[in-house]
Structure 1
Amino acid sequence: MAHPWIQEMHLPRLNIPVTIDNMFKVTPSKPIDAKPGDNLYLSNLDDMIGARVFTPTVYFYKRHELHVCDEENQKFLVKTLSDALADVLVPYYPLSGRLRETKDGKLEVFFGSDEGVLMVEAHSGTTLSELGDLTAPNPDWEPLIFKFPNEEPYKVLDMPLIIAQVTLFRCGGFSLGLRLCHCICDGLGAMQFLSAWAATARTGTLVTDPKPCWDREMFRPRNPPVVKFPHMEFMRIEERSNLTTALWQTKPVQKCIRISKEFQTWLKSAAQPFDLAGCTTFDAMTAHIWRSWVHALDVKPLDYQLRLTFSVNARQKLKNPPLKDGFYGNVVCVACATSTVSDLVDRQLSETTRLVREARQSISEEYLRSTIDYVDVDRPKQLEFGGKLTITQWTRFSIYKSADFGWGKPLYAGPIDLTPTPQVCVLLPEGDDDCSSGSIIVGICLPESAVQRFLQALLPSSELT
């Protein structure tokens, strides 16, 4: 079953001992444009139910010769990071506030007596080499991300909006485990903030290019709201397939698959729709993963309507008015393709690719405005998973380049654990940001019984075309 274009990556099982040495708040180093009692508006794009989460990421760095002893090394690392963070929190001051709900259930940022972000110092008796291959996300890295004792899942209210854990390993290498609240920034916004923090640490002086812009009021809902689209991405659909049982009631395992550049090129050619409008590599890969996933899970009944959702950056769609440089809030729309099980597994891949392309191209400025109004009229209170696979693309984020704090690019930069939401698939760059010349990693959760079927379905085959 092995194929040079598609390779399963075997994640080592790890037990990482971590000792917390110190915890302290980092507050803005200078006065900010907010005083106690102030609040800031969050848009409905910031306050969608899927954004009420912390996005955990981890960054590994090899040993850097800063001081003669590890204890001094740790102090220097933490001081460098915390001093730079304090400086960056001046222009990015909303991140030093807290979230609260207004009487209508909507979120806002407020500034009270409790402010600032959390920095955690830790050490581990293990070494980076003992962690194995640092190219693919591993759920066993979880101790490198700080969580409060007995913290409720999806808790964002009254929490520090940034939680950073610096863990020094016995070899002198270290990790930065970061939790950033998704309500404040989307992926591109998070990279903008991370770049500013890293450049400030690297140079010893505040660097913000572009200058951060809040400006969430431009996404206020219309009065009266105008919902022009059905917004299948949010719709509650009765789960009458075997997906829930397969993915939630059995314990899924996280699998990472390396997809070579050669396969991506071949697949894009093989998956071209027959209407001469073409497709992107993302369209082809997404369509192929969706079909392979449904094949592997043997979804029944065949007439059940499935959904594929994925985020589309809408920044370039905005013309009236255009978005200002430096805006770091959420500007993503959720695209949605639908198909019955039988159409998905029986039709040619080119047909599925066309569905994905049409969903992606349907995102317009009007769709974004309609999304804002939809959320205002019918504010979803929980994530809907009925018949759904969500694919998240990280390959467009300059996550490695953004995370150079003065110690070079990280050995690994990205997420850790996908299993809490097993209907999410992540596309990651492998080892660098430039996927134009290299492989991508597909991270996906599957029951153990479906893993081989999924890998088999991914392999190049004449049946795809």
Structure 2
Amino acid sequence: MAPPSVQDLHFSHLDIPITIDRIFSVMPASSIPVSTNHSLYLSNIDDMIGARVFTPTVYFYRSNNFGSPRKPIMEILLDALASVLVPYYPFSGRLRETQNGKLEVFFGPDQGVLMVQAHSEMALANLGDFTVPNPAWLPLVYRFPNEGQYQIIDMPLLIAQVTYFSCGGFSLGLRTCHCLSDGLGAMQFLNAWSSTAKAGVLVTNPNPCWDREIFRPREPPLVKYPHVEFMRIEDGSDLTMKLWQNKLVQKCYRISREFQARLKNLARAHDDSTCTTTFDAMAAHVWRSWVKALDVKPLDCNLRLTFSVNARQKLKNPPLKSGFYGNVMCVACATSTVSELVNGCLAETRRLVHDARLGISEEYLRSTIDYFEVDRPKRLEFDGKLTITQWTRFSIYESADFGWGRPIYAGPIDLTPTPQVCVFLPEGEGGSGGTMLVCICLPEQATSTFRKFLCLMDLDDQVGQ
């Protein structure tokens, strides 16, 4: 029997006892083009409030007859990382605030990135399903004792933890500061590290480029758009209250390629005048299903859907240099009333997502940079908002092959600290081509309702509208 088009995936609730064996800094293997007290400019896109976070990811590798794996694996990773830190030297710096709260990268003595070696008496087989992110894996990504939430000042900009398991397998847990790179930039760095580990010599293709100065604000700043995606809006609905005052659970669903194709056709609704992408259709469908499952009231309140759009190919004046690894993701925003989402049709919501995505242009990006220069937001705004993060176009599995094969899982861990975020993930080892994972946080009492809407049980009514 063929598996269902939408599968509800489950992860194990478990404790992973680990022992930290050593913690040390990794410095660039040779001289770098900056000296102590030197600083580097960060753009307003790098410096936006949403980028002032560490992105935790974990990568699991099965034992592959490494022999005695602990010393060789650690040495391979260390040597390759030290080599890569020469061209990617900004990762060895620290962040500090300058005037008006602006961030920059500065270089002091003995900084470097942080490397942690740990072990666990558990075996990989005891860690549950490697198909879905599991909050229980958090001990595999190092945090400092008493580290504050969203703390980034004077922190290592890359923290890597290698944890060995009793079976001979191991994990690599990374925390990368988002201010230095967006998802594509992070994949570029990871690919350089893994390629260097495999080759035994430095491999950078393309060569990294800092060049953040091309995103300096205009003088005077020129804000041409309202940028509702960043504005503080009082949520007149009960959406935020329902999310933050209820017990939330992380849910993941495997979405087949056939389901995505069917949804895309339904979302197009005989309108061939616009190019409908799978993302347009899936984002619209998840947004509607989420609002319906939460039974948001009142119906006349405005809600927002935000998502990042890669603006690299939109930049012409000047175009980005090959190897640029900074933040070039621009935030798009679709708005709708609750009533339009729950009573309208999928095609209408899809068009809102489509128009917001195509609205990202070079001028929109420049306007965003100038908006931050004029009015730099000091806090993340969640009211009335769902944010979708798309990882399906990241080469996360391919980029994390350090010479012992692709990881059996690569990706995020725990979504519950930011309950208004949904992540689209590629499926890992053994996944069929085009299969997507949708991971989202929901109040426990809303999970069955959300799955019902996600499975298209209500789409028969929409087609005729």
Name the counterpart of 2:13.
Answer: 13
Shift of 1:278: 3.2
User: Is the 1:122–1:167 Cα contact (8 Å) retained in structure 2?
Assistant: yes
User: Is the 1:397–1:433 Cα contact (8 Å) retained in structure 2?
Assistant: no
Unpaired segments of 5 or more residues in structure 1? none
Q: How does 1:75-94 map to 2 (within 5 A)?
A: 75-94=71-90
Name the counterpart of 1:225.
Answer: 221
User: Is the 2:21–2:118 Cα contact (8 Å) retained in structure 1?
Assistant: yes
Question: Is 1:117 equivalent to 2:87 in the alignment?
Answer: no
Name the counterpart of 1:133.
Answer: 129
Name the counterpart of 1:45.
Answer: 45
What root-mean-square deviation, in Å, do the aligned CA atoms of Structure 1 and Structure 2 show? 1.3
User: Is the 1:398–1:433 Cα contact (8 Å) retained in structure 2?
Assistant: no
User: Is the 1:142–1:417 Cα contact (8 Å) retained in structure 2?
Assistant: yes
Once residues 105 and 370 of structure 1 are traced to their aligned partners in structure 2, the CA distance between those partners, rounded to angstroms, is 20
Shift of 1:66: 2.4
Letter in 1 for 2:309: V
Shift of 1:277: 1.3
User: Is the 1:389–1:424 Cα contact (8 Å) retained in structure 2?
Assistant: yes
Once residues 434 and 253 of structure 1 are traced to their aligned partners in structure 2, the CA distance between those partners, rounded to angstroms, is 24
Once residues 241 and 432 of structure 1 are traced to their aligned partners in structure 2, the CA distance between those partners, rounded to angstroms, is 41
Question: Is 1:356 equivalent to 2:339 in the alignment?
Answer: no
User: Is the 1:396–1:433 Cα contact (8 Å) retained in structure 2?
Assistant: no
Name the counterpart of 1:373.
Answer: 370
User: Is the 1:3–1:459 Cα contact (8 Å) retained in structure 2?
Assistant: no
User: Is the 1:46–1:185 Cα contact (8 Å) retained in structure 2?
Assistant: yes
Letter in 2 for 1:252: L
Once residues 433 and 294 of structure 1 are traced to their aligned partners in structure 2, the CA distance between those partners, rounded to angstroms, is 32
Shift of 1:224: 0.4
Question: Is 1:178 equivalent to 2:166 in the alignment?
Answer: no
Name which of 316, 319, 322 aligns with 2:319. Answer: 322
Name the counterpart of 1:59.
Answer: 59
Once residues 463 and 115 of structure 1 are traced to their aligned partners in structure 2, the CA distance between those partners, rounded to angstroms, is 60
Name the counterpart of 1:402.
Answer: 399
Once residues 114 and 104 of structure 1 are traced to their aligned partners in structure 2, the CA distance between those partners, rounded to angstroms, is 28
Once residues 154 and 372 of structure 1 are traced to their aligned partners in structure 2, the CA distance between those partners, rounded to angstroms, is 22
Name the counterpart of 1:32.
Answer: 32
Once residues 196 and 275 of structure 2 are traced to their aligned partners in structure 1, the CA distance between those partners, rounded to angstroms, is 42
Once residues 332 and 6 of structure 2 are traced to their aligned partners in structure 1, the CA distance between those partners, rounded to angstroms, is 27
Once residues 378 and 275 of structure 2 are traced to their aligned partners in structure 1, the CA distance between those partners, rounded to angstroms, is 38
Q: How does 1:65-464 map to 2 (within 5 A)?
A: 65-67=65-67, 69=68, 73-272=69-268, 274=271, 276-431=273-428, 437-460=433-456, 461-464=459-462
User: Is the 1:39–1:110 Cα contact (8 Å) retained in structure 2?
Assistant: yes
Unpaired segments of 5 or more residues in structure 2? none
Counterpart secondary structure, 1:90: coil
Letter in 1 for 2:308: S
Letter in 2 for 1:142: L
Letter in 2 for 1:115: Q
Once residues 306 and 283 of structure 1 are traced to their aligned partners in structure 2, the CA distance between those partners, rounded to angstroms, is 17
Letter in 1 for 2:84: V
Once residues 3 and 288 of structure 2 are traced to their aligned partners in structure 1, the CA distance between those partners, rounded to angstroms, is 19
Counterpart secondary structure, 1:104: helix
Shift of 1:12: 1.0
Counterpart secondary structure, 2:453: helix
Once residues 297 and 166 of structure 1 are traced to their aligned partners in structure 2, the CA distance between those partners, rounded to angstroms, is 39
User: Is the 2:10–2:132 Cα contact (8 Å) retained in structure 1?
Assistant: no
Once residues 318 and 288 of structure 1 are traced to their aligned partners in structure 2, the CA distance between those partners, rounded to angstroms, is 30
Shift of 1:114: 4.0
Counterpart secondary structure, 1:108: strand
User: Is the 2:40–2:105 Cα contact (8 Å) retained in structure 1?
Assistant: yes
Once residues 294 and 66 of structure 2 are traced to their aligned partners in structure 1, the CA distance between those partners, rounded to angstroms, is 51
Q: Which moved more, 1:28-37 or 1:266-275?
A: 266-275
User: Is the 1:162–1:180 Cα contact (8 Å) retained in structure 2?
Assistant: yes
